[in-house]
Chain A
Amino acid sequence: MVESEIFRALADPTRRAIFERLAGAREMSVSQLKAGFDVSQPAISQHLAALRGAGLVAERREGRFAYYRVDPKGLTPLACWIDRYRAFWPARIEKLKDVLKGMDR
């Protein structure tokens, strides 16, 4: 399931912070991303690979440089998941009302 990959990718606080920093910019290189994080460049690259694996981040190569940006399509499954539960409970409450009506007091 795609959602579980997204949740896993965002479960790590550093990875989440990287994702949020990318979301606030148009595009960033690994070294730009590294600034402000107390994490090594290879570690940042590893987090980026995980985010790319979950479809959350896209990479653009230019010569020997790589640039990263948020892939907006990547969040759609997560938005759908939250929407599903937002619709879930009101629908269940309607059923609960019927059950209560049918019970012996």
Chain B
Amino acid sequence: MTDDTAREDSITVDCTLDEPPEQVWRALTEPALLAQWLMPNDISPGIGDRFTLQGSPDAGGAIDCEVLAAEPPRLLRYSWHGGEGLDTVVTFELSGTTVGGTHLRIVHSGFATAPARGTVTMLRAAPRRPTARTVMQSGLKLAA
């Protein structure tokens, strides 16, 4: 599992699964299966379909979603509108491996649509509890 830090406005997670794409697709799009690993939901994987992921209150509560792309068994993309008031998009890309498994890439993007791209860069550069100095230094890098 790797984390792509090249894109500043998204979180990318890659993994390799033993099961074939058709089976992984079911786990992404059948409500009962999706509920077991993500959240309780009423997913319906047709383009334009709306559904809700029932996040626990401490995890931001309900997340409103709309299917933006669905190409079984290789691409699923939906909008992710959480209680934080931020519009993001989650994309699942599936591809078969030579040994019959699946390479799954999850991209959660669109953070930059609210905070500026540079702001996220600044957050990355800053430590957990940024001091005035580190934020400003990061800010200077931004301006450069």
- Interface residues on chain A, number (Cβ under 8 Å): 43
A7-B108 contact, Cβ under 8 Å, with A16-B119, A20-B139, A70-B132: no
B136 part of interface (Cβ distance < 8 Å): yes
In-complex Cβ contact of A4 among B33, B85, B131 (8 A): B85
Contact digits for A51-94, partner B, Cβ 8 Å, 1 yes 0 no = 00000000000000000011011011011011001100110110
What is the CB-to-nearest-CB distance from A48 to chain B, in angstroms, rounded to a whole number?
A: 16
User: In the bound complex, do residue A72 and residue B134 qualify as a contact, i.e. CB atoms below 8 Å apart?
Assistant: yes
Q: How many A-B residue pairs have CB under 8 A?
A: 130
For B38, give the chain A residue with the smallest CB separation.
A92
**Interface size of B in residues (CB-CB distance below 8 Å):** 46
CB contact list, B14-59 vs A, under 8 A: 15, 17-19, 23-24, 26-27, 33, 36-38
A86 vs B140: C-alpha distance when bound (angstroms): 26
A24 / chain B contacts, CB cutoff of 8 Å: 136, 139-140, 142-143
Q: Out of A10, A70, A85, A99, which one reaches B11, CB within 8 Å? A: A85
Measured CB to CB, the nearest residue on chain A to B34 is A99
Are the C-beta atoms of B123 and A70 separated by less than 8 Å?
Answer: no
CB nearest to B33 among chain A residues: A99
Taking CB atoms and an 8 Å cut-off, the chain B residues in 54-110 that contact chain A are: 83-86, 104, 106, 108
Residue A23 lies at the interface, judged by CB distance under 8 Å to chain B: yes
Question: What is the CB-to-nearest-CB distance from B95 to chain A, in angstroms, rounded to a whole number?
Answer: 16
Residue interface bits A1-39, CB-to-B below 8 A is 1, else 0: 101101110110000110111111110000000000000
Minimum CB distance partner of A70 in chain B: B135
Are B108 and A23 interface neighbours, CB within 8 A? Answer: no
Residues in chain A near residue B116, CB distance under 8 A: 10, 16-17, 19-20
Q: Pick 21 A–B contacts, CB within 8 A, sort by A.
A: A4-B83, A10-B115, A10-B116, A20-B143, A25-B139, A70-B136, A79-B128, A81-B84, A85-B11, A89-B13, A90-B1, A93-B1, A93-B104, A95-B38, A96-B27, A96-B37, A96-B38, A97-B17, A100-B24, A103-B19, A103-B23
